[in-house]
Amino acid sequence: MSRPYLMAGNWKMNKTPSEAVVLAEAVKNMKKGANTRKMVAPSFVCIPAVADVLKGSDVTLAAQNMASVESGAHTGETSVLMLKELGVTAVILGHSERRHVYGENDGLINEKVKLALSHGLEVVLCIGETLEEREAGQANDVCFGQLEGGLAGVSAAQMQNVVIAYEPVWAIGTGKTATPGDAQTVHEACRGKIAELYSASVAESVVIQYGGSVKPGNAAELMAQSDIDGALVGGASLDADSFASIVAFDD
């Protein structure tokens, strides 16, 4: 069976609750191919309103982050228990903005990954190299390290609930997309790494999304690559028409 395409909108720190409701309604009504799944990740405060809109729909509701522990004295953090009660079923972890702006390292991200999986949430684990690392020829090694670090202690069975998002840091929000060929090279290498860490069958079934300036104009070309199984979309997911044409890339 071929892997499904996962088209996810990471709204980041955009949209107020009322604006998020409007966008969520639009995503709910977006046409998609039979083998495509839709996901949105609103900010925490928009989640209750968006959950109401998406209830019973075919759109997966994700959070953009969560705390590494269930509860306690962690001012400003959000717990997996709170997210689950609101109907969240997935969480993006290790996004490059969390890694590079907020200093999250592989150890912390791994704690979050394990906690989310133990609660039955689907995890979208983001990985990706900086421009400096790419220019030093380290793109694959950086991604391998983030896979190994982020997935430490995650079982083969739990991998059914893990999606990998390859997002080269230099392509996020910059308008610079990796060429489909460059992205495919890293995706293929990461799938190989997952085969090494787990098995060929886990590697064959894991969904690996590409992220970094995905737009209506480049989505189809990226999705045509054999190891690219979807997109994690930032800027272009904030506009309903743009996201609709990315979701329906194969139309």
Catalytic positions, please?
A: 95, 167
Number of residues that bind ligand PGA (CB under 6 A): 13
Under the criterion CB under 6 A, does residue 163 sit at the interface with ligand PGA?
A: no
Nearby residues of 176 by Cβ (< 8 Å), 6 or more positions away: 170, 212, 213
CB of 145 to ligand PGA, least distance (A): 20
Please report whether residue 234 would count as binding ligand PGA according to CB under 6 A. Answer: yes
Cα 15 versus chain centre, distance: 19
Interaction between residue 213 and ligand PGA (CB under 6 A)? yes
Site for ligand PGA in 165-194 (CB under 6 A): 167, 172-173
> What is the nearest approach in angstroms of ligand PGA to the Cβ of residue 242?
10
Question: Residue 94 or residue 140: which is nearer to ligand PGA going by CB?
Answer: 94
**In angstroms, how far is the first alpha carbon of the chain from the final one?**
20
Q: Which two tokens stand for residue 186?
A: 């890293």
Report the half-sphere exposure of 186 (CA within 13 A, side-chain side): 29
> In terms of CB distance, is 42 or 211 closer to ligand PGA?
211
Question: What is the Cα–Cα distance from 173 to 187, expressed in whole angstroms?
Answer: 20
233 binds ligand PGA (CB under 6 A): yes
| 7 counts as binding ligand PGA under rule CB under 6 A | no
Backbone angles phi, psi at 92, to 5 degrees: -85, 130
Q: Which of residues 8-27 bind ligand PGA (CB under 6 A)?
A: 10
Regarding 235 and contact with ligand PGA (CB under 6 A), the answer is: yes
Could you tell me the smallest distance in angstroms from the CB atom of residue 236 to ligand PGA? 6
By CB under 6 A, residue 146 contacts ligand PGA: no
Residue nearest to ligand PGA according to CB distances in the complex = 234
Q: Closest separation between CB of residue 221 and ligand PGA, Å?
A: 15
Mark the segment that binds ligand PGA (CB under 6 A) among 46-54, 152-160, 211-219, 240-248: 211-219
Alpha helices (runs of H) in 56-178, residue ranges in sequence order = 80-85, 96-100, 106-118, 131-135, 139-150
Alpha-carbon 215 to chain mean position:
16
Q: Does 214 bind ligand PGA (CB under 6 A)?
A: yes
Where does residue 198 rank: exposed (0-12), middle (13-18), buried (19+ CB within 10 A)? middle
**Using the rule CB under 6 A, is 80 a contact of ligand PGA?**
no
Q: Checking phi first, is residue 75 left (phi over 0); if not, alpha (psi -120 to 50) or beta?
A: beta
Count of CB atoms situated within 10 Å of the CB of 175: 9
Q: Which residues bind ligand PGA (CB under 6 A)?
A: 10, 167, 172-173, 211-214, 232-236
